[in-house]
Amino acid sequence: MYDTDGRKYLDGVSSLWVTTFGHRTPEIDAAIIAQLGKLDHSTFLGATHTPGIELAEKLLALTPGLDKVFYAGDGSSAVEAGLKIAYQYSVQSGQPRPLFVHLSEAYHGDTLGAVSVGGMKLFHATYRPLLLKTATVGSPGLRAPGQTPVERAAEVIKELEAVMAAQGDQVCAIVLEPMVQAAAGMLTYDASFLRAARELATKYGALLMVDEVATGIARTGPMWAHQHAGITPDLLTCGKGITAGYLPLSAVLATDEVYSAFLGAPEKTFFHGHTYTANPLACAAANANLTLAVERDLPGQVAVLGARLADLLKPVGDRDSVVEIRQLGAMIGVEVANVRHRTGFEVCRAARKRGVWLRPLGDTVILMPPLTLGEAEQNLMVEALAEAIDEVVR
């Protein structure tokens, strides 16, 4: 990226975690232009179009266990749709269940439904009186000093068991970010928690909804982060990297079982749709992006990228000025010591002076580079970060 003075930056956070291949990808540019020559926009309400059908097929081919796609506009509105689907599913299955279970520290977007299942005090506390009914369990990623990820997962599994034992028949869905709570500062957690959430949702007749808006499209390695745990969710939300950052588009993926509850009578329909749902240009961008993701073996590339970045970051993590590095694939949070107000912000500003664009989440500096970042750029990114930390955190 270049600023208005022509200074060059390496974008180490993929804009807001979206530019899969970096800024501008010739194949995606061409796909959008080709689509523009055919159809600019056409409503998806009660109608369909070729790029939308093609994208649904591509998404489902990448997602064993899920069978249907419902489009939305951005991550928040996909979550909103997923919550409504989960509740309506319970109604149409014969027992309305008005309660959602979610994790503390969660972030699922800024609309009121998404805020209801969020747990970040700064963003969410003000709206509590307006929100849906929820039960919160602790973040499996927030470990006490000396505690292992498995021990912390076991603690939160107990909490979840207790919530479900007490109120499970009221719960329509357990909603969570799989494997890593991103906006909370890349709080990674053990796969055993995800497996337990799957089992408990099934045991109590609730749905498991995984929010893969941040983690999807190979960001953590496998195409979806829930695949680390070998589970299948009932609902999956995705957005962000789905169009490689070109245009807004998101989706909810669901099982045939969930979908079938919406058939058979007009009043069973899921009445939810926005003007720009499944915009054809966005679908064309997403189709080209997913084609490249498969052709270029993004999961394989992220495995290599993640391992190399982990090696490069080791000496950074050894510094006294760094509290912890949390990483899953190409999602990385470097938590720096809180030496004064806005330390993380200052570290990012110091990195920017060195030509690397990063963003903080509190005292955690986020590295979410394009998934095809070359070795020289990886070196530049980590060197700039190390120098910035040494300059600021003293």
Q: Which residues contribute to the site for ligand PMP (CB under 6 A)?
A: 74-76, 79, 107-109, 177, 182-183, 211, 213-214, 239
Structure tokens at 210: 């995984």
Residue 118 Cβ, how far from ligand PMP at the closest point, in Å? 9
d(CA 190, CA 180): 9
| Choice between 211 and 234, CB closer to ligand PMP | 211
Q: Which residue is listed with tokens 């034992």?
A: 165
DSSP string of 1-45, one letter each residue = -B-TT--B-EETTHHHHT-TTSS--HHHHHHHHHHHTT-S----T
| Choice between 184 and 389, CB closer to ligand PMP | 184
The residue of the chain with the least Cβ separation from ligand PMP equals 75
SS3 173: strand
| Choice between 44 and 107, CB closer to ligand PMP | 107
Q: Are 156 and 139 in contact (CB under 8 A)?
A: yes
Centre a 10 Å sphere on the Cβ of residue 15 and count the other Cβ atoms it contains: 17
| Choice between 239 and 333, CB closer to ligand PMP | 239
SS3 238: strand
Residue 110 Cβ, how far from ligand PMP at the closest point, in Å? 6
| Choice between 168 and 344, CB closer to ligand PMP | 344
Residue 173 Cβ, how far from ligand PMP at the closest point, in Å? 15
| Choice between 235 and 316, CB closer to ligand PMP | 235
Residue 76 Cβ, how far from ligand PMP at the closest point, in Å? 3
Structure-derived torsion over alpha carbons of residues 274, 247, 188, 255, reported in degrees to the nearest 10: 50
- Partnered with residue 302 across adjacent β-strands are none
d(CA 259, CA 75): 20
d(CA 63, CA 223): 8
Q: Look at residues 107, 40, 76 and name the one whose alpha carbon lies nearest to residue 279.
A: 40
Residue 63 Cβ, how far from ligand PMP at the closest point, in Å? 17
Q: Look at residues 268, 318, 301 and name the one whose alpha carbon lies nearest to residue 369.
A: 301
Residue 376 Cβ, how far from ligand PMP at the closest point, in Å? 29
- Partnered with residue 10 across adjacent β-strands are 356
| Choice between 187 and 201, CB closer to ligand PMP | 187
* Alpha carbon separation from 15 to 19, 133, 321, 370 (Å, rounded): 7, 34, 26, 9
Q: Are 179 and 356 in contact (CB under 8 A)?
A: no
| Choice between 210 and 393, CB closer to ligand PMP | 210
Residue 277 Cβ, how far from ligand PMP at the closest point, in Å? 14
Residue 203 Cβ, how far from ligand PMP at the closest point, in Å? 25
| Choice between 194 and 322, CB closer to ligand PMP | 194
Residue 106 Cβ, how far from ligand PMP at the closest point, in Å? 8
